[in-house]
Structure 1
Amino acid sequence: MAIDPIDDQDLDIEVQIRGLMLDPVTNMPIVVLKDVASDLVLPIWVGVFEANAIALELEKTATPRPMTHDLLRNMARGLNATVHKVVVSDLRDDTFYATIWLMQGEEEVTIDARPSDAIALALRWDCPIYVSQSVLGRTRQAATEAGANANADELRRWLENLNEDDTGQYKM
């Protein structure tokens, strides 16, 4: 009897960008991802330049010359490849990792990336963004082990109750 391999898609949760905002304590940008099927949210702190690249695409702002993520999209297109999904795939030492999934002809290619770059590219390809269940489990476990359960709950409630003014226009 043959055993079917586990489909990685089954272990991934589809998310959408709920907002892009500044951390009120550190003034660092945060991309807030929200599970499309529940109220679960995941904040990911990102760099200023990456946040700007995400904001430009969220706001559909045209630039006079291609920005880095536009260049990557154009290169993939030039190589007859398409980005069909990105996955926030790992969390190690408080650092998130992502994978960009491309199709080039019949071949599937995966590329390691920072989540911020993967998200910026996903927006340009209008493809789905996923977070692996193991990453979500580890973020919950890390908050609990750090004794920050109350703080994690407060952060979760704060993120879930953000309104459009809180997550609206991200300005540099």
Structure 2
Amino acid sequence: MQIRGLMMDPVTNMPIVVLKDVDSDVVLPIWVGIFEANAIALELEKTATPRPMTHDLLQNLARGLNAQVQKVVVSELRDETFFAVIWMDHAGETVAIDARPSDAIALALRWDCPIYVNRTVLEQSKQPSTGAQTVNADEMRRWLENLNDDEMGRYKM
């Protein structure tokens, strides 16, 4: 997957990271917190900060321990919540760390490593949600797939 864009949800006014499959038109919107969206936006824009932000600190910590992030995977969708795993290499050993997708994506950008989404997550995300606040999932997906670059927002890729 690649980051297609970072935009604000016009209904909830919450940030959305839009992931797009590099081999198809499949998109996956993931609603994230303001701080995580800021961490992603800073890295997308390659904006330097005077002091390390949290995700920079995590990268520095991993490097200091001679570990390297290899990939991140949005691994599960359970009760309308996405889960992710950060896959690291430390001294030749593979380490899997549970994470929120927004944090995993922020780290993936800093490490310039691949972002994957399990196929079952993509399939589940196409299913209509049972939540009261949910807009029709198919309509939302079609809307995101058909956004042009100007509509995608400031952080289009």
TM-score normalised to structure 2 length = 0.92
Could you give the per-residue CA deviations for residues 93-135 of structure 1, whole angstroms, max 9, x where no partner exists? 1110000000012100010000000000000000000000111
- Which 5+ residue runs of structure 1 have no aligned equivalent? 1-14
Could you give the per-residue CA deviations for residues 135-170 of structure 1, whole angstroms, max 9, x where no partner exists? 1121123x1777xxx932321221112222222325
Name 1:7's counterpart in structure 2.
Answer: none
Tell me, yes or no, if the aligned pair for 2:85 and 2:104 is still in contact at 8 Å: yes
Matched, 1:160 2:120: no
Name 1:117's counterpart in structure 2.
Answer: 103
Matched, 1:106 2:76: no
Please tell me the residue identity of whatever aligns with 2:147: L
Residue aligned with 1:169, SS:
coil
Tell me, yes or no, if the aligned pair for 2:55 and 2:106 is still in contact at 8 Å: yes
The structure with the larger Rg is 1
- In 2, Cα distance between the equivalents of 1:145 and 1:108? 37
In the comparison of the two structures, how many residue pairs are matched?
152
Tell me, yes or no, if the aligned pair for 2:75 and 2:84 is still in contact at 8 Å: yes
- Which 5+ residue runs of structure 2 have no aligned equivalent? none
Please tell me the residue identity of whatever aligns with 2:73: V
Give the stretch that moved more between structures: 22-31 or 159-168. Answer: 159-168
Tell me, yes or no, if the aligned pair for 2:126 and 2:138 is still in contact at 8 Å: no
Aligned pairs (5 A) from 1:1-172: 15-141=1-127, 143=128, 151-169=136-154
> Please, what is the CA RMSD of the aligned residues?
1.5
Q: Structure 1 residue 69: deviation in Å?
A: 0.2
Larger helix fraction of residues: 1
- In 1, Cα distance between the equivalents of 2:15 and 2:147? 15
- In 2, Cα distance between the equivalents of 1:61 and 1:144? 36
